[in-house]
Amino acid sequence: MRTFTWLCAAAFALGSHVASAGAAVPAYITAAVADTGRPEGDTAQDADRKPAEVLTFVGVKPVDTVVDLMPGSGYYTRLFSHIVGPNGKVIALQPVEMDKAAPKGLISLRSFAGTPPYANVTVIVQPIAALALPSRVDVVWTSQNYHDVHDPFLGSPDILQFNQAILRSLKPHGLYVVLDHRAVAGSGLAATDTLHRIDQATVRSEVVAAGFKFVRESEVLRNPQDTDTLPIFDKSIRGKTDRFMLVFQKPAT
C-alpha cells in the first residue's frame, strides 16, 4: 500500500476542493480519490460519479471490511482498497452470470487484486442465487447494478433470499448501500431490463422486507436534466444519469 505520509500529503493538497461540495471529506477518502495510481478511465468519471462526496456520505473508513458486490471493472474497488488500508479488507464479489455477460470486468479486477498497491483486495466469483458472502463485514456496497438482479441474464434470483444473504453477512449495525439509476416514481420493476433503471421506492421496500432498517438517502447524484425515461446508455445521458443512493443498516438483534 502507498505510505500514509504520501496519502496525507495528497489529502492536504486536494482537501479544500472536494470538501467544498458538501460535508467535510475525511483525509483518507480525499487521498484515495487523489491516488495517482488510479487508471485514467476511472479518474475521467470522477466529475460525474463524485466519489469523495459519495463515500463520505456512506462512511467507509480505515480497517473496515467491505464487499463490493457486482463491482464492474473495479472503479470503487480501488477506492475502497486505499480507504480501508492495510488492516482492512475488500472483497470484490462478481456473480458468475455477470461475468458471462461482461467478462471484461472480471479481467480488470484480477489484473490488480492482490498486487502490492491493492494487497487487501480479493476476488470471489459465485452464482448469484447461492451467494456465500464472508461473515461479519462492515459494509456491503452495490453500485448501478441492483436493478440487474431482477433481469433474465442474471437468472432473476429470489430477491428476498438475495438481500437476506447480504443481511447475514453483515455485523450488527453493518451497512448495506444501494446506488442505482433512478426510474420514474411508481414504475416499480418495469424498467429494469429495458432502461436499466429501478424505482427507488421499490428498492427500499425490497431491502426492508429482508430485515434491514432504512437509515438515510442522498441526493448528491441527482440529475434533474435526466427525465428517467431513457435507457442509461443513451448518448444524451450516458454517465450522467439521475441516480439515488440508499443506506440500510442491519439491526443489532
- CA 212/CA 173 separation, integer angstroms: 10
Report, as an integer, the average pLDDT of 179-193: 97
Whether the pLDDT of residue 20 is over 90: the answer is no
pLDDT single digits (tens) 32-43: 999 999 999 999
Q: What is the per-residue pLDDT for 22?
A: 60
**CATH number of residue 50's parent domain:** 3.40.50.150
Tell how many helices (H) and how many strands (E) occur in the chain: 10, 7
- CA 124/CA 94 separation, integer angstroms: 6
* 208 within some domain: yes
* 23 within some domain: no
In the chain, how many domains are there?
1
* 2 within some domain: no
* 34 within some domain: no
* 24 within some domain: no
Percentages (nearest 5) of helix, strand, coil residues in the chain? 40, 20, 40
- CA 156/CA 129 separation, integer angstroms: 9
Q: What is the per-residue pLDDT for 240?
A: 96
- CA 92/CA 69 separation, integer angstroms: 6
- What crossing angle do the helices spanning 27-34 and 4-19 adopt, rounded to 10°? 100
Whether the pLDDT of residue 18 is over 90: the answer is no
Whether the pLDDT of residue 15 is over 70: the answer is no
pLDDT band of residue 23 (cuts 50, 70, 90) is confident
Q: Which residue has the higher pLDDT, 8 or 221?
A: 221
pLDDT single digits (tens) 103-157: 999 999 999 999 999 999 999 999 999 999 999 999 999 999 999 999 999 999 9
Whether the pLDDT of residue 19 is over 80: the answer is no
User: Is the four-CA dihedral 204, 56, 91, 110 of positive or negative sign?
Assistant: positive
Report, as an integer, the average pLDDT of 44-66: 97
Whether the pLDDT of residue 63 is over 70: the answer is yes
Helix (H) or strand (E) holding 103: helix 103-112
* 5 within some domain: no
Q: What is the per-residue pLDDT for 13?
A: 36
Q: What is the per-residue pLDDT for 253?
A: 77
The parent domain of residue 197 ranges over 46-249
pTM (two decimals)? 0.90
pLDDT single digits (tens) 64-96: 999 999 999 999 999 999 999 999 999 999 999
* 32 within some domain: no
Q: What is the per-residue pLDDT for 77?
A: 98
* 173 within some domain: yes
pLDDT single digits (tens) 196-236: 999 999 999 999 999 999 999 999 999 999 999 999 999 99
Sheet holding 170-181, edge to edge: 121-126, 89-95, 65-69, 137-143, 170-181, 243-249, 213-218
